[in-house]
Each structure stands twice: as C-alpha cells, then as structure tokens.
Structure 1
Amino acid sequence: MGSSAPWSSSKVLLDIGGKRYSTTVDTLTQREPHSMLAAMFSGRHTVSEDPETGVVFVDRDGKHFRHILNWLRDGIIPILIEAEYQELLREAEYYQLLGFVEHINMQLNRKKEEDGSGPELTRKDVIKCIQSERVRFRGVNLSGLNLSKLDLSFVDFSYACIQKTCFRGANLQKAKFGNVEGHGSDFQDAYLRECEFIGADLSGAILDRANLQSANLQDACLIGGSLCEADLRTAHLQNAKLSDTNLEGANLEGANLKGAKLGGANLNRANLQRAYLRDVDLRDTQREGVRLNGANLLGAIR
C-alpha cells in the first residue's frame, strides 16, 4: 500500500533499521527543504508504509537518527566523539541534509584543531586570504586541505604543515615552501616555477608533471616521492635526498644535483643533458634510456 501527501495527518511514524521514531511532516520538511526526507514527505513522491500500522520503513542504521531529528527540530548539534561524528556524517549525507553535514564537518575540524592534528584554515579561508595584497601562511597548519587549482603564486608557506595537502593544478610560481612538513602532499600538474623548497620534507610527495623549472630544492627530502615527467630544467637539487624517488621521464636538463642522494631512484627516460652530476653516486639507480649528453660526470660513480 502506498501513500502520498497531502498526508491525512501531520504525524509520521518511522522505522529506521528497526528503531521506531515518531515525528511530524513539518519537522521533516522545513529546516532542510531540499533533503531526501523532505522530498519523501513533500507530496511529490509515493511513500510505502505498512498497511496495518502506517509505519514508513527506511533501511538505514537507526542509532543516530535521533540526532537527525533533533537537528531538524531545533538545529541542535550533539556532542560526540570523532568516530561517532563520522558515523553521523554518513547518515546525514545519505539523507542529503546539507546544512547538517556542514555543521558536523565544522565540529570535526574543531576536534582536530583541539588535538593539534587538523588544519587551522579551510579552503574558503585560504581563498579569502589570497584576495588580499600580501599572503603569508608561515608556520600555519594546512594539512589535508584541498587547495587545487588556486592561484597561490608568491605566497609564503615557509615552516607550514602541508602534509597530504592537495595543490593539484595550482599556480604556485615563486611561492616559498622552505622547511615545510609536506609528507604525502600532492603537487600533480602544479606550476612551481622558481619556487623555493629549501630544507622541505616532501617525502612521499607527488609532483608528477609539475613545472619546477629553476626551482630551489636544496637539502629537500623527496625520498619515496614521485616526479614522473616533471619539468626540472635548471632546478637546484644540491644535497637533495632523492632515494627511491620516481624521476621517470623527468626533464633535468641543466639541473644541479651536486651531493644529491639518488640510491634506488628511477631515472628511466630522464633527460640529464648538461646536468651537474659531479661526484654523484649513480649506482643502484634505474637508467634505461637516460640522456646524459653534456652532463658533468667528473668523479660520478656509475
């Protein structure tokens, strides 16, 4: 038996995964008018209900549905531990409660900030900042943020925490990343020409196809990272740690690798023409198809 609004009564009986709830049509439709629940009881759709009891069954975990009802009734955000917020977030996303989702994420971010493990700013905060004339994020925790495709040229990120931060496709020309903590950061396809990464920890970072022409990566740690097909022409890589780094197809023409550690690096098809490789240990590197014409290999170990 199906029923469609206008409902004969404003009262609604719900069975959410075996847990019974009683509420009203107004509660389910007013605070979040674009949600799945609002659509179900708006009159635009047929809703299946038990022919004897009139109960509407929804096949979801009913544990957190009381928090959903309290939000819809009074706009209340419950106080929960992080794991419970994650469970509640899944339910809120299922019911398409966009306002509730935003507030849950705010609570999660606050908890991470209190624990010292989360970002101090959101993507929106960063966008507001870059609209000002001079932007500095020195020492700021931006870990895990999605900053892809933003214009962040000339921005100072020195000493910031950018672990697992996404800069894909961003314009970062002449930005400063000196001494950042950037383990697992993502710079795929980013424009990093003339950037400064002196002493940066970029272990495990992804810089595939990034433009790093004339970038300064002296003393940077890129162990286990990926710079596949990156443009590193005339880049400064003195004393950089490049062990187990994927440099396949990278363009290192004219780059300075004096003192760089390359053990286990993949240099297949890399262009090292006119690169400075004096006294560099190239043993234990993959070098199939590597181009070394005009490279300074005086004292290099091969």
Structure 2
Amino acid sequence: MSSSFPRSPSPVLLNIGGKKYATTIDTLTQREPDSMIAAMFSGRHTVSRDSETGTIFVDRDGKHFRHILNWLRDGVIPMLKDSEYQELLREAEYYQLLGLVDHINTNLNKKKDEDGSEPELTRTEIIKCIQSERVKFRGVNLSGLNLSKLDLSFVDFSYARIQNTNFSNANLWKARFGDAEAEGSIFQDANLRECELSGANLRGVVLDRANLQSANLQDACLIKCSFCEADLRSAHLQSAKLTDANLKGANLEGANLKGAKLNGTNLQGANLQRAYLRDVDLRDTQLEGARLGGANLLGAIR
C-alpha cells in the first residue's frame, strides 16, 4: 500500500533493514528539510507501507539509524570509533543529511598533503557539487581527501592536486585527470573506464583491480604504480613511464604500449594478446606466464 504523509502527531513506524524504529514526521523533516529522508516523508512523495502494520520498510543497514534519529531530534551524536563514524557517514550520505556529514567529518582526522596545506574542499562540499551538472575541479587542491565510493563520472580534475587522495571503489567513468598531480593516491577497484589521464603524475598510485578499459594514459608517469589484476583492455599507454610498475595479472589485451618505458616492469601472468608492443624494450621486463598471442612485437627488444 502506498501513501503520503500529512503532518500528524501520530508515530511513524520504520523498518530499517530489519530493525524497528518509531518517530514522527517532524523529526524526519525539520532539522534537514533539503535531505532525501525529509523528501520521503514531506507529503510530496508516496512510499509503501505494510498493509497490516503500517510500517515503512527502507532497505538500508539499521545498525546506526538510531544515531541518525538522535541527530534529527537533538543535533548531536555520541563519540564513536573511526570505523563506526565511517559506517555512519555512508548512511548519512545516502539520506543526504549534509549537516550530519559535516558533523561526522569534524570528528575524523583530516589528512594533509605533503606541504601541510589543507584541501580546498571537503567531502561534503564535493557531494554538493556533484549533484549539479558539468562539475569541474580544474586546478583545485583536493589532496588527502576520502572520495571513495562516490559517483564522480564525467568530473573534470585536470591540473588538480590530488596527492594521497582515496578514490577506491569510486565511479570515475569518463572523468578527466589530464596533467593532474595524483602521486600516492588510491584508485583500487575504481571504475576509470574511458578516463582521460594523459600527462598525469600517478607515481606510486594503487590501481589494483581498477577498470581502465579504453582509458588514455599517454605520457603519464606511472612509475612504481600497482595495477595488479587491473582491466586495461584497449588502454592508450603510448610513451607512458611504467618503470618498476606492477601489472601482474593485468588484462592489457589490445592495449597500445608504443614507446612505453617498461624497465623493471612486472607483467607476470598479464594478458598482452593483440597488444601493440612495437619497438618496445622488454629486456628488463618480467614476462613469465604472460600471454602474447597476436601481439605486435615488430622491432621489440627482448
């Protein structure tokens, strides 16, 4: 059964991932009226109730929802462990409770970049920005931020300073990182498909299991990067500096590595079928177990 919510002192019964809560419409809508949770119970939308009990089910982890209710009631949350703050942060972001997100972030240790300066934007401000269209962070300092699990597709980070920034599990499809300073950042399990990374400084970056299909990494500094089991099919790696990079088990099928620097590169077990390796120096490259069927090795030095 679906219904809207006129204002009433009657309790609202919630089932959050199997945990039961009772509250009021005022509690859910007044402290953060622009949030998603306020919109759900504002009367502007219809939600599904259990036909017998009148309970509204929300398919989220109910463990920390009591903290969310206490925030909406009183504007406070208790001191928590960092891991619990991170769990609560995910729920606050889902419900778009930006005031709570800010409050949590003030209780977490903020990272600083190598010169000790603070990033110019917070995670919360970035979430606000990506809700609008055509987001650009060109030349902005975002070093040390935790941007994991965010949808950052199409965002322009060209020339930005993003050293030691956490992008793990983020959606960065078609994002632009041209000439960005991203040394030491983490892109583990991120979606970087069709990304523009040409000329970027990615020295020491972790890209394990990342999806880099058709990404443009031409002229990028990839020295000592970790690409273990990354998907680099049809990636553009012309003249990229891959010295001492770890591409063990990576899928480079159809990738273009013309002019790439592969000194000390680990390509053990990598899939290099139909890759373009013409005139590449492979003498110091670890190729044990690599698949080279159909690769263009004309002029390659081995």
Task: Please tell me the TM-score bracket, short chain as reference.
Answer: 0.5 to 0.7
1:290 and 2:295 equivalent? yes
Pair 1:76 & 2:75 matched = yes
2:175 corresponds in structure 1 to: 170
User: For 1:267, what is the secondary structure of its paired residue?
Assistant: coil
| Per-residue deviation, residues 249-271 of structure 1 (Å, max 9, x unmatched) | 21112322222111111112212
Range that drifts further, 245-254 or 25-34:
25-34
Q: Which amino acid aligns with 2:264?
A: G
Partner residue, 1:184: 189
Cα displacement (A) at 1:169: 1.3
Take 2:178 and 2:272, find their aligned partners in 1: how far apart are those partners?
26
Q: Does 1:102 align with 2:107?
A: no
- Structure 2 residue aligned with 1:12: 10
Whether contact under 8 Å (2:238, 2:258) holds in the other structure is yes
Of 188, 205, 209, the residue aligned with 1:200 is 205
Instruction: Show CA shifts across 1:184-205 (max 9, x none).
Output: 3442211011122233333333
Query: Percent same amino acid among aligned pairs?
Result: 29
Q: Radius of gyration: which is bigger?
A: 1
The aligned counterpart of 1:53 is: none
TM-score, with structure 2 as normaliser: 0.67
Are 2:38 and 1:38 equivalent residues in the alignment? no
Q: What amino acid is the match of 2:123?
A: T
How far is 1:66 from its partner?
7.6
| Structure-to-structure mapping, 1:47-58, within 5 angstroms | 57-58=54-55
Aligned to 1:121: 122
Aligned residue among 204, 218, 238 for 1:213 = 218
Contact 2:268 2:287 in 1 (8 A): yes
Offset of 1:162 from its aligned partner?
Answer: 4.1
Secondary structure of the corresponding residue to residue 39 of structure 1: coil
Cα pair distance change 1:106/1:253, threshold 3 Å: same
Question: RMSD value over aligned CA atoms?
Answer: 4.6
Would you say the 8 A contact 1:29–1:39 is kept in 2? Answer: no
* 1:212 to 1:4, Cα distance in 2 relative to 1, 3 A: closer
Q: Please state whether the residue corresponding to 2:10 is helix, strand or coil.
A: strand
Q: Which runs of 5+ in 2 are unaligned?
A: 112-118
1:4 and 1:201 map into 2 onto residues whose CA distance is: 47
Deviations 1:200-227 (A, max 9, x none): 3333333221101122212322222221
Correspondence for 2:146 among 122, 142, 145 = 142
C-alpha spacing 1:212/1:78, structure 2 compared with 1 (3 Å): same
Amino acid aligned to 1:12? S
Asked if 1:272 is matched to 2:252, the reply is no
Alpha-carbon contact 2:178-2:200 (below 8 Å) kept? yes
For the residue of structure 1 that corresponds to 2:41, the secondary structure is: helix
Would the alpha carbon gap of residues 58 and 207 (structure 1) be closer, same or farther in structure 2, given more than 3 Å must change?
A: same
- Deviation of 1:76 (Å): 3.1
Extract unaligned runs of 5+ from structure 1. Answer: 51-55
